Amino acid sequence: MNVFAVEGLPEIEPGDDIASLIAERVDLTPTDIVCVASTIVSKAEGRQADLSEFEPGEQAERIAEQVGDLADEEKDPRFAQAVIEESEELLMEFPIMLAVTTFGHITINAGIDRSNVPDADLLLLPEDPTASAQRLHEALGVPVIVTDTSGRPFRHGQRGVAIGWAGMPAARDWRGTYDRDGKELEATVQAVVDELAAAANLVTGEGAGGKPVAVVRDWEFGEFDGSDDLFRDEDEDLIRPALKEYSHAGD
């Protein structure tokens, strides 16, 4: 498996045709997988926003006040309002806003970025990353994964993760296959889009590198059943109810 970044992409602006910009810079082969950082998908889709567009409601004011007290500095309730508007719900308001985005991804601040955003205060995640991946997939003719860098429970730091994908399943289902002793594997669903997004992040990096697109070459999904179930629904999630009960305990 070979993973490399696409070189020489320009600063992306609203309306830009990312697929063409990629196709002009790399000769894709039919078995390639293209991983695109959500930041440029958002830029092309015009997801830049200014704080002035968000009118803080009661919840946003409360959150900004709590966070402000903790940090001992003024916090802008309009940012909290942006997070709320991008979310289905908040699992935790304080000291972090842990959001379920409208498309089901659980992440801090609903994935809103304040870095790498010229001429705007904020960059929101793509409205529907699966649809974005589908459009790129159709234009490029190979599977596409839209990625983000995000944190996760229990571990420090962030890693690349898939938030949308098209042209391939999200996971390899190993159930029904056998181990080295001929025993059937119990419950192994390998979330390959997340593993591919993590691999891509190793070559794109964060910060000013200017490399938002990675190509994965010579990796095969193989002869597996596929699954597109990546985001846990609330009723299959054991962590979510605990967080909700806990964080609303003081209500």
Ligand X SMILES: Nc1nc2c(ncn2[C@@H]2O[C@H](COP(=O)(O)OP(=O)(O)O)[C@@H](O)[C@H]2O)c(=O)[nH]1
Q: Residues comprising the binding site for a divalent metal cation?
A: 113, 148-149, 206
Q: How far is the CB of 244 from Mn ion (least distance, A)?
A: 25
Length of the chain: 251
Options 51, 210, 219, 221; binder of ligand X; rule CB under 6 A? 210
Q: How far is the CB of 32 from Mn ion (least distance, A)?
A: 21
- Contact status: 101 vs ligand X (CB under 6 A): no
Q: How far is the CB of 161 from ligand X (least distance, A)?
A: 9
- Contacting ligand X within 29-58 (CB under 6 A): 37-40, 43
Q: Which is nearer to Mn ion, 86 or 148 (CB)?
A: 148
- Contacting ligand X within 168-197 (CB under 6 A): 180
Q: Both ends of the chain: CA-CA distance in Å?
A: 51
Tell me which residue of 12, 14, 17, 11 sits closest to 140, measured CA to CA: 17
Which residues fall in the annotated binding site? 9-12, 38-39, 43, 113, 116, 148-149, 204-211
Select the binding partner of residue 211 from ligand X, Mn ion, a second copy, none (C-beta < 5 to 8 A, by kind): ligand X
Mode of pairing for the β-strands spanning 144-152 and 33-37: parallel
Q: Which is nearer to a second copy, 55 or 206 (CB)?
A: 206
Select the binding partner of residue 155 from Mn ion, ligand X, a second copy, none (C-beta < 5 to 8 A, by kind): a second copy
* Gyration radius of the chain over CA positions: 19
CA 129 and chain centroid, separation? 8
Q: Write b or e for each residue in 85-101: b if 16 or more Cβ atoms lie within 10 A of its Cβ, otherwise e.
A: bbbeebbebbeebbbbb
Using the rule CB under 5 A, give the single segment among 19-27, 40-48, 72-80, 111-119 that binds Mn ion. 111-119
- Contacting Mn ion within 147-166 (CB under 5 A): 148-149
- Beta strands in 72-121, from DSSP E residues, in sequence order: 87-92, 98-101, 106-108
Tell me which residue of 8, 19, 5 sits closest to 200, measured CA to CA: 5
Measured CA to CA, the distance from residue 66 to residue 208 in angstroms comes to 32
Tell me which residue of 101, 116, 211 sits closest to 163, measured CA to CA: 101
Q: How far is the CB of 228 from a second copy (least distance, A)?
A: 10
Mode of pairing for the β-strands spanning 171-173 and 48-49: unpaired
- Contact status: 107 vs ligand X (CB under 6 A): no
- Interface residue list for ligand X (CB under 6 A): 9-12, 37-40, 43, 113, 115-116, 148-149, 180, 204-212
- Interface residue list for Mn ion (CB under 5 A): 113, 148-149, 206
